[in-house]
Amino acid sequence: MTLPGTKMNRMRNECDPTYEHQDRTTGEILQCKQCKPGTYRTAHCTATMETQCATCQSDHYTELWNYLNRCLYCNNFCSQNQEVETECSVTNNRVCRCKAGFYMMEDFCVRHTECGPGHGVQAIGTPRNDTVCEKCLKGHFSNSSSASDQCVKHQDCSGENVMLLQGSAFHDTVCGTCESLANGGDDLRAVLSASLTGSRIPRRDLKRLIHKIIQKDQEDDFTGDSALPKQRGPLVDVIRVWLAQATSEQLKQLAKTMRNSQLRKKKKDQLKLSSNLVQIFP
């Protein structure tokens, strides 16, 4: 309460927020002191008594100076894909944020976009912003879908190793020796893996390859086209798993098939087998 004409009350007006209240007994308009954050008013001031305030009970709050007769309920509850950033207290409502890997879009937490093959992350997503992707620059690649990985620089072939497969935006440069390539070793496996899983071969051609080569070795796994995955990613996974387990002879047979198949003839940029591979498997 402030009493007009006194220096102390003028100082209070400058420091603490007040509100007007008419005394029911005297009819006098009083300047009552407000209650501080975390408290609420239990009684108005009078000519002889300050405003009476009390602390908010559990799960209730007041964030500002006030003269409310009750505290506000903490009514903000975190929903799906959200987590508590700031818990409810006597001075604030509960604050939620999107969980890691999600961002807020139109009041919903949406999973961050993954940058697909040939693209890298320019800016990692935050609880408020989605991932920003960019195409891999020349000399760089990305062979996976990720919400965190940037494009990686192609490796340089040195020493006895020569370039067996030129790098693209979708796969790294493959280095090795022609002898290892001809023997059907890991170098050939790497070339075939990069060529098939790191380029944009149409789904129809991937299915044709699986039927022609892989299905012969895994007759129990696939009974027909309807049993194959419909999306490109799972089709590539089938090929990648087979390549990791294939024998040297199976790898050589696949290389010869690719050499003569329409996979290579349809679009030059879909499957870039090096001249070394063409010469070894004429």
Domain final residue pick, 22, 43, 72: 72
**This model's pTM is above 0.75:** no
pLDDT per position as a tens digit, 108-142? 999 999 999 899 999 999 999 999 999 999 999 99
Is residue 238 one of the residues assigned to a domain? yes
SS3 127: coil
pLDDT of residue 52: 98
pLDDT classification of 253: cutoffs 50, 70, 90: confident
| Sign of the CA dihedral running 8, 11, 17, 20 | positive
Domain final residue pick, 90, 124, 153: 153
Is residue 138 one of the residues assigned to a domain? yes
Query: What does the alpha-carbon distance between residue 135 and residue 142 come to, in Å, rounded to a whole number?
Result: 9
b/e code 30-44 from CB counts within 10 Å (16+ = b): bbbbbbebbbbbeeb
Asked if the model's pLDDT at residue 12 lies above 70, the reply is no
Is residue 89 one of the residues assigned to a domain? no
Whether residues 160 and 272 fall in one domain: yes
pLDDT of residue 187: 85
Is residue 84 one of the residues assigned to a domain? no
- For residue 251, the one-letter residue type is L
pLDDT of residue 182: 79
Mean pLDDT of 205-221: 68
Whether residues 47 and 146 fall in one domain: no
pLDDT of residue 226: 57
Whether residues 28 and 59 fall in one domain: yes
Whether residues 141 and 174 fall in one domain: no
pLDDT classification of 225: cutoffs 50, 70, 90: low
Asked if the model's pLDDT at residue 219 lies above 90, the reply is no
Whether residues 178 and 220 fall in one domain: yes
pLDDT classification of 159: cutoffs 50, 70, 90: confident
Query: What does the alpha-carbon distance between residue 116 and residue 147 come to, in Å, rounded to a whole number?
Result: 9
Is residue 88 one of the residues assigned to a domain? no
Q: Which of the two residues, 272 and 257, has the higher pLDDT score?
A: 257
Check: CB of residue 160 under 8 Å from CB of residue 171: no
Whether residues 181 and 194 fall in one domain: yes
Whether residues 159 and 276 fall in one domain: yes
> Range of 121's domain?
114-153
Check residue 206 and give left, alpha or beta (phi > 0: left; psi -120 to 50: alpha): alpha
Asked if the model's pLDDT at residue 22 lies above 70, the reply is yes
b/e code 178-192 from CB counts within 10 Å (16+ = b): eebbbebeebbbbbb
pLDDT classification of 215: cutoffs 50, 70, 90: low
Whether residues 129 and 188 fall in one domain: no
pLDDT of residue 64: 97
Whether residues 232 and 173 fall in one domain: yes
Query: What does the alpha-carbon distance between residue 19 and residue 12 come to, in Å, rounded to a whole number?
Result: 12
Structural domain count, the chain: 3
Is residue 55 one of the residues assigned to a domain? yes
Is residue 103 one of the residues assigned to a domain? no
pLDDT per position as a tens digit, 43-81? 999 999 999 999 999 999 999 999 999 999 999 999 989
Whether residues 222 and 262 fall in one domain: yes
**Average pLDDT of the chain to the nearest whole number:** 83
* DSSP E strand boundaries for the chain: 18-22, 29-33, 39-43, 52-55, 60-61, 72-73, 82-86, 95-98, 102-105, 108-111, 119-123, 132-135, 140-141, 152-153, 162-165, 174-176
Whether residues 165 and 237 fall in one domain: yes
Q: What is the CATH number of the domain that holds 145?
A: 2.10.50.10
Is residue 77 one of the residues assigned to a domain? no
Whether residues 142 and 211 fall in one domain: no
